[in-house]
Amino acid sequence: MQYNLLFRVIPLFVVVWVINLAGFSLADGIEKGYTRGFVKEGQKLPVELDVMLKCEYLDGEISEEAVRETIYSYENFWAKFDEWQFVGMENDRMVFQKKVDDISPLLKTNGYFGVTEDGILTIFNGRPYKSNIIHSFFQIDVGKLESRKREELLKGIPIKTKDRYVKVLETFKSYTLEEMEAR
């Protein structure tokens, strides 16, 4: 509980620090609702400000969403982003980030595992083609694969779920050239 409260209070101090950099006193800033770049002099709550939300997925994909928030109370504002981590200011926006324990929507809808010509296990946007590479992992010894597994990789293995993503990575990890050389 104290840990969670600490991470709510720290971003508030960052905002206050930014206010102080702008030349406003702490008392004036809180009383008048100053936030550098967001609130005009003398403006009181509610205040509108721009927020950038960044989600980082297991597959490394990062999605960004820009939203405009109306602040009626600072306590409610921070409570709304309780599961997010405040990471700073960027282009006059407050930036929050969250790590998501799942694969990205892109992979769920159109992600396929495949293998490049060099034998590198890769995720493709759609069926495996050279120009549709999203992410590359490790080189595997394609010659050691069962013909069925090799055929699946050449055609593309749809990802769809986190479990499938993890299972495919685990399956082909044992075929990495490094693993094969260690045996």
| Per-residue pLDDT tens over the stretch 87-109 | 999 888 999 999 999 999 999 99
How does pLDDT run across 37-73, given as a tens digit for each residue? Answer: 455 556 688 888 999 999 999 998 999 999 999 999 8
Closest alpha carbon to 101 in 160, 57, 145, 50: 57
Closest alpha carbon to 98 in 56, 127, 36, 68: 56
- By three-state DSSP, how is residue 74 classified? helix
Band of residue 84 on the pLDDT scale cut at 50, 70, 90: very high
pTM over 0.85: no
Give the residue-averaged pLDDT of 12-37.
40
CA distance 178 to 158: 26
Token digits for 170? 């685990």
| Contact predicate 26/19, CB 8 Å | yes
Looking at every residue in the chain, the average pLDDT score rounds to: 80
Q: Which domains does the chain possess?
A: 2-100 (3.10.20.420), 105-182 (3.30.70.1740)
Token digits for 87? 């990471």
Bridging pattern class, strands 133-139 and 111-115: unpaired
